Chains A and B, each alone.
Chain A
Amino acid sequence: MDSSVSSKATANTFEADVREIVTAKYVRTAGESDAVAGAQPSLVVEPGSEQELAKVLKLANAAGLAVIPRGGGTKLEWGNLPERADVILSMARLNRVIEYAWADLTVSVEAGCTIGKLQETLAKHGQRLAMDALWPERATVGGVLSTNDSGALRLRFGSLRDLVIGTTLALADGTVASSGGRVVKNVAGYDLPKLVTGALGTLGIITRVFFRLHPLPKETRTISCTMEDVREAQRLVLAIQNSKLAHSALQICCGAEMQPRVDVLFEGTEAGLAAQVEQVKSMMGSTITDAGKDVWSARQEICSAGKGNTESAVAKFTTLPAQMADTIETIARLSVGKLRWSIVAQATGIGWARFEGEISAIESELRELRAAIERSGGSLVITHRPAGISALDAWGNAGDALPLMRAVKWQFDPRGSLNPGRFVGGI
């Protein structure tokens, strides 16, 4: 039998079986808008429960079909192009806040719940998930975890790995397994919530999550100032970091046509803030500007501008905090006369950069920049790129642990049915 006929037959049986599980209403043929980074899947399935989802995964795995999990679809282009794409597994219906134990400062939520809806629920009790995700109105808990998205608040509250205390996963073979739990302190068994944070859905599909929560701040203050150059900005950032101020976020924004600006966020009581604001103002000198709270959306602006524009690229870079100025200067030097660029760099050493210009210039700059950053021990991950440079790996060097990562992938998903080819080293 012709192999395409055979696979078509398998796909047909699969579709029929899936209709049985989730009912016909929640299975549809994939359209053009369901394509993932250019790869066209054939089916979109929306399971209504964890059990349904696990059954669908098991069937897909048995049929050798590639499954792409999808939350809000805001970061689907992150990672390499999928090797194969057969089934989109939509998390849209798994969107409940399961249990909000506000007095314990914990919440359990289904992975398809949007960050916006979650934060709205938590705000009713004066609490929050202390992170600032991209596109929170659409981004889901599962998607944000799988992409390890985090913003400026990370400086104070840590990244998602520090906020997630339990996860339930559906594995490719249909196993449903939990680890961690609802308590903030727990060392029983391996920390799988950390393993799946940032794994881009390649080890299993996150179905439920427990988070630890933080109170919403009583008062917040944002203080900004413009600096002569990035060296000066870097010096100020390191001085603030080395001070006894208790700031929640600290970033440098700059660009080809923008003088560097340093933004500091304070959260706390009115009394506590006043003294800190005075202190930071004295460190800043006379260049203070009233840029307002909007400065904290800088990361989303950089990432959003990439959307739909084929002649731009967005990359996340990580360096040591004291090397940010070096990295920004490298970007400025490489871009001169070729590319427009803008950057937001956080005091943690994580930055986001957008490049606009000729495709070939973007490609060569990303390659050179990655080489320079990797030489000094950091990394550069491309989250958006023009269609023409798809050959450029999204992740860069995964180091000497790559064989071990492959072994982990193989244990969890030996047939490679989850997001095949999208992760580091072709995982």
Chain B
Amino acid sequence: MECRIFDELREIVGPRGLITSREELHTYECDGLTNFRVLPRAVLLPDSTEQVQKIVRVCHRERIPFVARGSGTGLSGGALPVENGVVISLTRMNKILEVDLSNARVVVEPGVINLDVTGRVAPQEYFYAPDPSSQSICSIGGNVAENSGGAHCLKYGFTTTHVLGLEVVLADGSLVHLGGKTLDAPGYDLMGVFVGSEGTLGIATKIDLRIVKRPECVQTLLAAFPSTNEAGAAVSDIIAAGMLPAAIEMMDNLAIQAAEAAVHANYPNCGALLLVELDGPVAEVAALMAHVEEICRKNNSWEIRVAQSDAERALVWKGRKAAFAAMGRLSPNYIVQDGVIPRTALPNVMREIGRLSTEAGLRVANVFHAGDGNLHPLVLYDRRIPGHEEAAEALSSRILELCIAAGGSITGEHGVGEDKKKMMPKMYSEPDLETMQRVRCAFDPLQLSNPSKIFPRPRLCGEKPGEYVAHPLETAGIAERF
């Protein structure tokens, strides 16, 4: 990149909004997935939509790829910089712009932290429902990019359920508004496609959120089972009984040990722990909770506790939410996996994971959103032992293949990013992937916005589909046709 471009960018964001020194750039070389690292050419810290537009216009004119970044907590390498590209960090755009309680809407800038939205409306007993485990540090902009989930999406839905409108800077610097505060805006649901597009369709600079009224009561039950088989059967029975709990989480023995060591959640030491949360009107919750207890007992749960206070409930959740980070206490290194299976496939898949784990000689801890079949197997290994890392990666991929074979997905909430694009062809056919990329071509024909993510092979967006037209990347010698 030439000096004049740096000068121009500095002009836009001011000297404190441009980072070019090598030491400082290292902060941005990866996101929460640290095994991929790329040093960007520069990092920009805009503080307004207008600045984002100006930066993107320069990138578009000079054909510089850019990657938007929130708090950098993503676990699939979605915010991994690209070679010779810039990172646009949105952390300075962190204002809550509007709170409209009578319509249950909140308007935020992308750098606002997830939990701060709830913090703002909690006094009026509202909350923002999507609750990824990183919610105290992750940003709403990042949540939009990844369509983040969380433990409570079983009942409340995902980020996409709670985003109503977006202001987006497209890859050519133009500004568009997708959706809005009112529902069903005429036209295609481009907002629906944008949420979860992992930064490949542009940069969201303003987000209209829906907030939810706090339920009258919340009850959390902890049940200890001999193994994941019995706990899994209890999950199936709860769902089959026609209940829709706010959350159903499961942890196996290794995960319980790790959480205990880290936050002393006072979990029983058992083969599998089930955490069931019900919310709603008092009488309704009481009736359903009795039914859940009965189902757990029937499936051989030997200890059942219902959290008696908010503090107890918070501690139960603290253990669950700390489970990933707690693995560091059991193993020097570990891979966090994210796969989804139909709920009924749980016993079979768990058995297979156990078999593969024994075969590979590596421990696998399991923490998952059992209610919606979202598994988070954690593959433990020691990088210092030769061959361990490769074996762990192979095992991790095998687990995803199990998920695909069971009719599931390679990611339920962490995204494809850089990490899983090689798995995409195992889940989707070539025409499936090609069709998705038609959307990409409509939004960003030059493929400057977070290029090389999600799709293993970029589709070149000719001027006319079906007819050969040299793509700018192709002419520039950066890409070739497959």
Same complex origin of A and B: yes
| B280 in the interface (beta carbon within 8 A) | yes
A215, B180: Cα distance in complex, Å: 31
A188, B240: Cα distance in complex, Å: 27
| A177 in the interface (beta carbon within 8 A) | yes
Query: Which residues of chain B from 343 to 391 have a CB within 8 Å of any chain A CB?
Result: 343-344, 369, 372-374
Query: Which residues of chain A from 166 to 195 have a CB within 8 Å of any chain B CB?
Result: 169, 171, 173, 175-179, 181-192, 194-195
- Distance of A401 from chain B, by nearest CB (Å): 4
The answer to whether B411 touches A186, judged by C-beta atoms less than 8 angstroms apart, is yes
| A116 in the interface (beta carbon within 8 A) | no
Query: Which residues of chain B from 417 to 462 have a CB within 8 Å of any chain A CB?
Result: 420, 424, 427-429, 431-436, 438-443, 454
A414, B461: Cα distance in complex, Å: 13
From B158, B186, B410, B435, contact of A398 by CB (8 A): B186
| A397 in the interface (beta carbon within 8 A) | yes
From B184, B288, B454, contact of A318 by CB (8 A): B184
The answer to whether A404 touches B176, judged by C-beta atoms less than 8 angstroms apart, is yes
A321, B213: Cα distance in complex, Å: 15
| B332 in the interface (beta carbon within 8 A) | no
From B180, B187, B196, B283, contact of A275 by CB (8 A): B283
A349, B102: Cα distance in complex, Å: 12
Query: Which residues of chain A from 217 to 265 have a CB within 8 Å of any chain B CB?
Result: 218, 238, 241-246
- Distance of A133 from chain B, by nearest CB (Å): 15
Chain B residues lying within 8 Å of A349, measured Cβ to Cβ, are 103, 182-183
| A39 in the interface (beta carbon within 8 A) | no
Q: Which of A106, A203, A395, A408 has the most CB of B within 10 A?
A: A408
| A43 in the interface (beta carbon within 8 A) | no
- Mask, A319-354, CB within 8 Å of B = 1, is 111100000000000000000000000001110000
A205, B251: Cα distance in complex, Å: 42
The answer to whether B177 touches A404, judged by C-beta atoms less than 8 angstroms apart, is no
The answer to whether B187 touches A195, judged by C-beta atoms less than 8 angstroms apart, is no
The answer to whether A402 touches B286, judged by C-beta atoms less than 8 angstroms apart, is no
| B157 in the interface (beta carbon within 8 A) | yes
Across chains A and B, the number of contacting residue pairs, with CB separation under 8 Å, is 277
Closest to A180 in B: B409
Given that A178-B432, A183-B409, A185-B413 are known contacts, is A397 also in contact with B157, CB under 8 Å in the complex?
no
Q: How many residues of B contact A (CB 8 A)?
A: 95
The answer to whether A275 touches B181, judged by C-beta atoms less than 8 angstroms apart, is no
The answer to whether B344 touches A101, judged by C-beta atoms less than 8 angstroms apart, is yes
Closest to A350 in B: B183
The answer to whether B416 touches A189, judged by C-beta atoms less than 8 angstroms apart, is yes
The answer to whether B215 touches A246, judged by C-beta atoms less than 8 angstroms apart, is yes
The stretch from A6-14, A157-165, A282-290 touching chain B is A157-165
Closest to A169 in B: B435
| B193 in the interface (beta carbon within 8 A) | yes
Closest to A174 in B: B431
| A105 in the interface (beta carbon within 8 A) | yes
| A412 in the interface (beta carbon within 8 A) | yes
Given that A181-B408, A271-B286 are known contacts, is A186 also in contact with B435, CB under 8 Å in the complex?
no
The answer to whether B193 touches A192, judged by C-beta atoms less than 8 angstroms apart, is yes
Chain A residues lying within 8 Å of B416, measured Cβ to Cβ, are 187-189
A158, B189: Cα distance in complex, Å: 15
Given that A106-B342, A161-B189, A414-B465 are known contacts, is A408 also in contact with B439, CB under 8 Å in the complex?
yes
The answer to whether A381 touches B186, judged by C-beta atoms less than 8 angstroms apart, is yes
- Distance of A356 from chain B, by nearest CB (Å): 24
Given that A183-B408, A318-B184 are known contacts, is A195 also in contact with B342, CB under 8 Å in the complex?
no
- Mask, B113-142, CB within 8 Å of A = 1, is 000000000000100000000000000000
A197, B190: Cα distance in complex, Å: 11
A189, B157: Cα distance in complex, Å: 18
| A357 in the interface (beta carbon within 8 A) | no
The answer to whether B280 touches A377, judged by C-beta atoms less than 8 angstroms apart, is no
The answer to whether A198 touches B188, judged by C-beta atoms less than 8 angstroms apart, is yes
Closest to B241 in A: A215
Q: Which of A101, A103, A177 has the most CB of B within 10 A?
A: A177
Chain B residues lying within 8 Å of A410, measured Cβ to Cβ, are 442
- Distance of A372 from chain B, by nearest CB (Å): 13
The answer to whether A269 touches B244, judged by C-beta atoms less than 8 angstroms apart, is no
The answer to whether A187 touches B415, judged by C-beta atoms less than 8 angstroms apart, is yes
Closest to A173 in B: B466
| A308 in the interface (beta carbon within 8 A) | no
| B153 in the interface (beta carbon within 8 A) | yes
Closest to B420 in A: A188
The answer to whether B340 touches A186, judged by C-beta atoms less than 8 angstroms apart, is yes
Chain A residues lying within 8 Å of B216, measured Cβ to Cβ, are 244, 246
The answer to whether B466 touches A407, judged by C-beta atoms less than 8 angstroms apart, is no
The answer to whether A395 touches B186, judged by C-beta atoms less than 8 angstroms apart, is yes
| B311 in the interface (beta carbon within 8 A) | no
| A396 in the interface (beta carbon within 8 A) | yes
- Distance of A349 from chain B, by nearest CB (Å): 6
Closest 8 CB pairs of A and B: A272-B284, A194-B192, A215-B242, A177-B435, A407-B442, A411-B438, A244-B216, A186-B409
12 new A-B contacts, CB < 8 A, other than A195-B193, A320-B105, A349-B183, are A179-B436, A181-B408, A181-B409, A185-B158, A185-B372, A187-B416, A190-B454, A198-B184, A238-B102, A272-B285, A350-B184, A379-B186
